[in-house]
Amino acid sequence: MEPLGMAATAVPDAGPGPGWQSKCPWGAPKPASISCSLAEVMSEQLAKELQLEEENAAFPEVVAVAEGPFITGENIDTSSDLMLAQMLQMEFDREYDAQLRREEKKFNGDSKVSISFENYRKVHPFDSDSSEDEVDWQDTRHDPYRADKPTTTPKKGFIGKGKDITTKHDEVVCGRKNTARMENFAPGFQVGDGIGMDLKLSNQVFNALKQHAYSEERRSARLHEKKEHSTAEKAVDPKTRLLLYKMVNSGMLETITGCISTGKESVVFHAYGGNATEDDKVIPPECAIKVFKTTLNEFKNRDKYIKDDYRFKDRFSKLNPRKIIRMWAEKEMHNLTRMQNAGIPCPQVVILKKHILVMSFIGQDQVPAPKLKDVKLNSEDMKKAYYQTLNMMQQLYKECNLVHADLSEYNMLWHDGKVWLIDVSQSVEPTHPHGLEFLFRDCRNVSQFFQKGGVAEALNERELFNAVSGLNITADNEVDFIEEIEALEKRNEDHVQNHGKKVSTFSSDGDPPIYDE
């Protein structure tokens, strides 16, 4: 008997894992030697997992049940009640699933339409795989198997008289009672036929099992609930779904409630954060999950943003399209982090997994904050929003060394009485070959929006451009202005060509960027 999960475990020691792992009767997982990059390991792992998922129809070939109710085997450590109970439970779950599968097969026969019994299975397919991700998350999540604090029973209640008083602390009585009480576990939790036997469970074992039963039930509910949102899920491919499942399964996210937005290049979901922590970071109570679409054609027209971004230049040529899409997600993460560090109101990054970026949710109770284009602000708030936007654009340029490059009332949210910037995957550094043109476009959007919105103080696009960049372009009409911008960009490009490095954008005292040679 070789349980799948354990055999597949090839994970570098991830620090102090849950206690049961080290006591595992099938031995400690083999330490793997990593000969390639983390990214490669992860995608290989993912491929394996996907295969496993497909194969899970064949999952437990398992369990030609041994003669007795107990496992016999010389090397199996049965000294611990807890371990024994877990092994029995695991054994039972697998047996139950095997039976279920037989019934499912019989039920469906050769019919083209089949009914899946998967929801009733005890062993969840994702429990049987173990990837690096999984272990990372599991280490921090609550583990029902982890040795409990000793349970103290309050001192009350006894049976018998005189010398024969037995209190509820009596091991035998208590053990039998615990065994009987197993029946009252979460509804539908299969406790096996232990009830019929004269088993005596210690309080510790009983409590551990009970806790396991409840957490199992909650998790099942979560998974089922997720399935019901499958319309949103259909928007994402199986690999993405698997990654999302894992986030929920690991306890990092509590539930993914639904889809907030489906764009050409990304799908955004709302989720409630779980209790698990990532690198000691507390997961925000509500999260937004931005899934960058892996359908490549939508991204073709965005090449220019990333291809010419100096930060990504070296990497671009070597990458396949799938990796380029991950780079969008990575870019958004880096840009958000820069903005966060500068104190610009924006989503806080929670975690990046491949092409999926989890961040804090701007909004409340599943309702995303409205875009500036959708919210009706009074003139006072409008003016406030304008000055704040001006400020943020300057901060973005000077402190973050970034140009948003898609700034408009569509990517500004109104929340908590202020403007929040989102959607920064395409943001670039000002020295990007088209950086200043992007900035000018941003300025035009912002200026037009606030001028139309009745903010008399709002600078026009050219004034705004100079105010943000610190440049002093004097052209008084748009055509000439853009010509000057392009000339600056060209000079900068030539400089890069000739000197092999970009010019520094700012001098230390915050003066205008130096584009001279």
* Residues forming the active site: 406
Please give the residue whose beta carbon sits closest to Mn ion in the complex: 423
What value, to the nearest 5°, has the Cα angle with vertex 269 and ends 268 and 271? 145
Residue 347 contacts residue 413 (beta carbons within 8 Å):
no
Whichever of 9 and 411 has its CB closer to Mn ion, that residue is 411
- CA separation for the pair 1, 183 (Å, rounded): 28
Contact set with ligand ADP (CB under 6 A): 260-261, 263, 265-266, 268, 288, 290, 347, 359, 361-363, 368, 371, 411, 422-423
Residue 386 contacts residue 463 (beta carbons within 8 Å):
no
| H-only helix segments in 76-131 | 81-108
By the rule CB under 5 A, 409 interacts with Mn ion: no
What value, to the nearest 5°, has the Cα angle with vertex 166 and ends 160 and 171? 150
CB 287 to Mn ion: min, Å: 17
Choose the stretch contacting Mn ion; rule: CB under 5 A; options: 235-243, 347-355, 411-419, 482-490: 411-419
Locate the DSSP E strands across 83-183.
158-159, 166-167
3-class state of residue 140 by DSSP: helix
| Six-digit token string for 148 | 């409990």
| Helix (H) or strand (E) run with residue 258 in it | strand 253-262
Whichever of 135 and 260 has its CB closer to ligand ADP, that residue is 260
Whichever of 268 and 443 has its CB closer to ligand ADP, that residue is 268
- CA separation for the pair 447, 437 (Å, rounded): 15
Q: Which residue in 350, 354, 352, 334 sits closest to 342, CA to CA?
A: 334
Whichever of 21 and 411 has its CB closer to Mn ion, that residue is 411
Whichever of 366 and 474 has its CB closer to ligand ADP, that residue is 366
CB 268 to Mn ion: min, Å: 9
Residue 249 contacts residue 131 (beta carbons within 8 Å):
no
By a kind-dependent CB cut-off of 5 to 8 A, residue 392 interacts, out of ligand ADP, Mn ion, none, with none
Residue 195 contacts residue 204 (beta carbons within 8 Å):
no
By the rule CB under 5 A, 143 interacts with Mn ion: no
Give, as one character, the DSSP assignment of residue 403.
B
| Six-digit token string for 299 | 């991204």
By the rule CB under 5 A, 411 interacts with Mn ion: yes
By a kind-dependent CB cut-off of 5 to 8 A, residue 431 interacts, out of ligand ADP, Mn ion, none, with none
Binding string, residues 194-233; x marks residues near Mn ion by CB under 5 A: ----------------------------------------
What residues contact residue 310 under an 8 Å CB cut-off, 6+ apart? 429, 431, 432, 502
CB 410 to Mn ion: min, Å: 6
CB 297 to ligand ADP: min, Å: 15
Choose the stretch contacting Mn ion; rule: CB under 5 A; options: 69-77, 102-110, 389-397, 403-411: 403-411
Choose the stretch contacting Mn ion; rule: CB under 5 A; options: 287-295, 330-338, 415-423, 502-510: 415-423
Whichever of 263 and 510 has its CB closer to ligand ADP, that residue is 263
By a kind-dependent CB cut-off of 5 to 8 A, residue 361 interacts, out of Mn ion, ligand ADP, none, with ligand ADP
CB 411 to ligand ADP: min, Å: 5
**Given 97, 143, 332, 423, the residue binding Mn ion (CB under 5 A):** 423
On the 0-12 / 13-18 / 19+ scale of CB atoms within 10 A, 97 is buried
User: What are the DSSP calls for 28-94, one per residue?
Assistant: PPPPPPP-S-HHHHHHHHHHHHHHHHHHGGG--------SSSS---TT-----HHHHHHHHHHHHHH
Whichever of 133 and 423 has its CB closer to Mn ion, that residue is 423
CB 411 to Mn ion: min, Å: 5
Q: Which residues contact Mn ion by CB under 5 A?
A: 411, 423
